[in-house]
């Protein structure tokens, strides 16, 4: 009777008439009821006075209720142990399910607890963990097919709890007797559905091998609790696996992107070296400048590639940073011209297609202005302004010098074509030098 053995005699005798137990060896039956920690305690008792004058109280019928109260306490402790178990949070799925079966088997006082998972289309059921509490070991997993036990599968499809007191005679388990019940010596079993996202995905089965057992409501409620813990554990394991798989895929993509980025930049560098070599063979200034322009255009695309690689978005680049990279390159290449660069740039993101065209446009205008500055050999100023307003962007590039009309005519054809590709037109401002403006939709 455990902790319930020590009942308070004062409570037993409270209100009991003294004259009923004055005579020695006189036995008087009575009922006793008390509110204990885990529920009401109602038993039949007998009381008598012994020859030594002491009162003797004996419990006649209380074993069933005492066992129920003891089971409640045991299962409460089991539930707390499950919720505190580190294995459920950090172990493998098999380790976690084994821990659940071990604790559940002890709380339910059964020989075996096993967890089953339905196959696709409800055509089979396979045990994930098959725990034997007597040997404290896992038994080999098994698979049962619908064609072998069609009636039992139909019963499982009701998604109801299936308590079987006598597995050897009950019609529900007739198909299981040969090849399963007889193999494991099962006398009673209790099947509880395991549901994930409202769908029955498997079973937890409690199997008793000693006696015919009536599965009480308390047994079934605890079984439902174990089924819920199993469902949460499987869900958590699946989420972890999905997360690990996604992280592995992301790592593989990062490696692939790094390799693609490296190869693309190497190809750009190789192309620029080839262009530089061909430019050295040019016989006149005109063709030399054409090679220089071509190399700068390749460099523009190389910078766009770098911005795209560094961007957190796969289809957009930071156009402001692209312009800053271009300007840094101009400062290094044309350091002998003593040209001052002034940038006033709003934050702006463009899709890759528009960023590449707009970047080429900036490069065309800048190269024309810088070539003119180099020709004049005077200290000049070039300003670049990037203004974003709602869904439109304006690029304005202004130089303090007046661009030679002939140079402008030859070099501006590409700029006009790029403006058309952006759905815009190029405007020229000749106030205090020369300015070029382009306004287009993001």
CA atoms lying within 13 Å on the CB side of residue 411: 25
Is 194 within the bounds of a domain?
yes
Mark whether 233 and 112 lie in a shared domain: yes
pLDDT tens for 274-305 read: 877 777 777 787 777 777 777 777 777 777 77
Mark whether 85 and 179 lie in a shared domain: yes
Mark whether 171 and 125 lie in a shared domain: yes
pLDDT value for 210: 85
pLDDT value for 15: 46
pLDDT tens for 94-103 read: 988 999 999 9
pLDDT value for 293: 74
Mark whether 329 and 392 lie in a shared domain: yes
CB atoms within 10 A of CB 435: 18
Is 9 within the bounds of a domain?
yes
Mark whether 50 and 108 lie in a shared domain: no
Q: Record the tokens describing residue 154, joined without a space.
A: 């139909």
Please count the residues of the chain: 442
Q: How far is CA 372 from CA 291, 328, 367, in A?
A: 17, 19, 8
Residues of the chain with pLDDT under 70: 1-69, 308, 311-314, 335-337, 404, 407, 410
Long-range contacts of 58-67 (CB under 8 A, 24+ apart): 59/1, 59/7, 60/29, 62/1, 63/1, 65/41, 66/1, 66/2, 66/4, 66/41
Domain count, the chain: 3
Mark whether 225 and 335 lie in a shared domain: no
Is 256 within the bounds of a domain?
no
pLDDT value for 67: 67
Is 261 within the bounds of a domain?
no
What is the domain extent for residue 323?
299-441
Mark whether 76 and 129 lie in a shared domain: yes
Q: Record the tokens describing residue 75, joined without a space.
A: 């299962």
Residue 391 exposed, middle or buried by CB count within 10 Å (0-12, 13-18, 19+) = exposed
Residue 227 belongs to domain with CATH number: 3.30.450.40
Q: What secondary structure letter does DSSP report for 297? A: H
Is 248 within the bounds of a domain?
no
pTM: 0.54
Residue 303 belongs to domain with CATH number: 3.30.565.10
Mark whether 202 and 310 lie in a shared domain: no
Long-range contacts of 15-19 (CB under 8 A, 24+ apart): 16/47
pLDDT value for 246: 87
């Amino acid at each position: 009777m455990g902790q319930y053995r020590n009942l308070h005699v004062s409570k037993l005798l409270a209100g009991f008439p003294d004259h009923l137990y004055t005579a020695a060896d006189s036995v008087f039956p009575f009922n006793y009821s008390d509110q204990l920690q885990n529920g009401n305690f109602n038993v039949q008792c007998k009381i008598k006075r012994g020859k030594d004058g002491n009162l003797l109280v004996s419990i006649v019928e209380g074993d069933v209720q005492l066992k129920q109260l003891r089971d409640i306490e045991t299962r409460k402790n089991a539930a707390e142990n499950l919720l505190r178990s580190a294995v459920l949070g950090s172990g493998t799925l098999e380790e976690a399910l084994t821990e659940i079966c071990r604790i559940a088997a002890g709380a339910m006082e059964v020989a075996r607890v096993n967890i089953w998972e339905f196959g696709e289309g409800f055509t089979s059921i396979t045990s994930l963990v098959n725990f034997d509490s007597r040997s404290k070991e896992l038994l080999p997993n098994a698979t049962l097919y619908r064609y072998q036990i069609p009636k039992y599968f139909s019963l499982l499809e009701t998604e109801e709890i299936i308590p079987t007191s006598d597995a050897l005679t009950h019609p529900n388990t007739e198909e299981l007797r040969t090849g399963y019940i007889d193999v494991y010596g099962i006398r009673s079993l209790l099947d509880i559905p395991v549901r994930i996202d409202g769908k029955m995905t498997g079973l937890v089965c409690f199997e008793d091998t000693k006696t015919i057992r009536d599965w009480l409501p308390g047994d079934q409620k605890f079984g439902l609790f174990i089924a819920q813990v199993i469902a949460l554990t499987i869900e958590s394991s699946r989420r972890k696996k999905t997360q690990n798989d996604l992280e592995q895929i992301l790592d593989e993509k990062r490696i692939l992107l790094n390799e693609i980025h490296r190869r693309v930049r190497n190809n750009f560098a190789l192309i620029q070296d080839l262009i530089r070599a061909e430019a050295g063979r040019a016989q006149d200034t005109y063709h030399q400048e054409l090679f220089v322009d071509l190399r700068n255009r390749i460099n523009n695309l190389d910078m766009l590639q770098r911005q795209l690689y560094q961007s957190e978005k796969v289809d957009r680049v930071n156009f402001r940073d692209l312009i800053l990279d271009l300007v840094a390159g101009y400062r290094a290449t044309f350091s002998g011209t003593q040209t001052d660069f002034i940038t006033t740039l709003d934050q702006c993101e463009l899709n890759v297609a528009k960023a590449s065209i707009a970047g080429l446009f900036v490069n065309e205008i800048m190269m024309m202005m810088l070539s003119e500055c180099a020709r004049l050999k005077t200290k000049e100023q070039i300003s670049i302004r990037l203004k974003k307003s709602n869904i439109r962007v304006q690029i304005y590039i202004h130089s303090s010098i007046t661009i030679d009309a002939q140079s402008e005519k030859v070099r501006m054809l590409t700029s006009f074509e790029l403006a058309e590709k952006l759905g815009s037109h190029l405007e020229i401002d000749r106030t205090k030098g020369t300015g070029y403006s382009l306004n287009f939709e993001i």
